[in-house]
Amino acid sequence: MTTKFKSIFRYKVLIATNLITMIFLMVILVKENYPKKLLRKIQYNNSEVTAKKESVTEEELSAMNNTFQLKFKDYVEGKGNRSFKVLIIGNSLANHAIAKNIGWTHESGMAATNINKDYAHLLLDKLSKKLPNKKITMRVANFSHLERNPNLELYGKIDDFVNFKPNIVIFQLGENVKDDNLLLFQKKYIELINSFKKENKNITICTTSFFPSLHKNNLVQIVSSETNSFIVDLSHLTLIDKENYAKYERNYQGDQTKWKASGIGLHPGDKGMKSIADELFITINAIISQQKVK
């Protein structure tokens, strides 16, 4: 074998070895789902950057946060003799009072065009059709104050909710939590959920943040695992369709020119609210069916 032939042979073996190694690595990456994981991480990072670019000013936040909120609102559907109770502990997405100083002129989950189109009422309608022989009572509360101040003492302040004895509790929280408060909020969140599990055998559901955040998703996973709660993911909605934000919704039926705070537009509009209700009902429908609730 000549020296020239040996060099060519070694070169071809080297290329073949590198090619086999690359194929082997690609197979492992695909098998472990790394491309999708990487894409998901990029999407979350890009979305968080977008959210920061469209963030609300402190002045606008102050105006939105200082709006007076009733402790809770009850809504009833159906005329059955047996009751089925659902409690939603959320934030402005669940219910926001009229706040004319920021151009929010009706009460509903922000930014639905009317109360019947927010996710709570859409879900109530779905449940009443699913359980026609039940009297469905839904209690909706805005707990955004707890998101912004996780140091709040819960003792004696949630009796109206625990004593309501709901069959299902939906915790839609996290959107207003600051990054430097995540660990503190995580601890308080677990305490809040466990308060409902001491005496009642209810089902608890946690949603991920409507505003995509990898850190907050991780928090919700930990909280759900610690409290044996179901998870309903909302964080993907705006990643797959920006129209789930009210400001980007085509054919939005409300008057956006009245808005004096840009933060309103970053809430779900009618389309986003329907998406949230649909995601929640998938899980609730499965729970009801498995438990054979009638």
Q: Mind listing the pLDDT tens digit for each residue in 133-176? A: 999 999 999 999 999 999 999 988 899 999 999 999 999 999 99
d(CA 98, CA 82): 34
**Tell me, what amino acid is at 250?**
R
Local confidence band at 281 (pLDDT 50, 70, 90 cut-offs): very high
Whether the per-residue pLDDT at 36 is higher than 60: the answer is no
Cα–Cα distance for residue pair 60/183, rounded to 1 Å: 26
**Confidence band, pLDDT 50/70/90 cuts, at residue 30:** low
Report residue 195 CA to chain centroid gap: 21
Q: Residue 234: left (phi > 0), alpha (psi -120 to 50), or beta?
A: alpha
Q: How far apart are CA 94 and CA 108, in angstroms?
A: 7
Share of the chain above pLDDT 70, in %: 78
Pairing verdict, β 168-171 and 134-142: unpaired
* Residue 67 clears pLDDT 60, i.e. is over it: no
| Cross-strand partners of 171 | 89, 206
Question: CA separation (Å) from 124 to 82, 136, 277?
Answer: 16, 7, 9
**Mean pLDDT across the stretch 29-38?**
59
Cα–Cα dist 152/148, whole Å = 9
Summarize the confidence of residues 192-205 as an average pLDDT.
90
Among candidate residues 202, 204, 133, the one with its CA nearest the CA of residue 164:
202
pLDDT score of 23: 76
- pLDDT reading at 110 higher than 60: yes
Q: For residue 93, give the nearest of 255, 287, 276 by alpha carbon.
A: 276
Q: How far, CA to CA in Å, does 44 sit from each of 55, 180, 193, 270, 290? A: 16, 19, 27, 23, 33
Residue pair 75/128 in contact by the 8 Å Cβ criterion: no
pTM over 0.85: no
Mean pLDDT calculated for residue range 276-294: 92
Distances 118 to 98, 108, 182, 217 between C-alpha atoms, Å? 14, 6, 27, 23
Mean pLDDT, the chain, rounded, equals 87
- pLDDT, position 72: 93
- Between CA 47 and CA 43 the distance in angstroms is 6
The answer to whether residue 53 scores a pLDDT higher than 60 is no
Coil, strand, or helix at residue 90? strand
Would you state the pLDDT for residue 249?
98
- Reply yes or no on whether the pLDDT at 178 is more than 80: yes
Q: What is the pLDDT of residue 4?
A: 56
Residue 42's contacts (CB-CB under 8 Å, 6 or more residues apart) are none
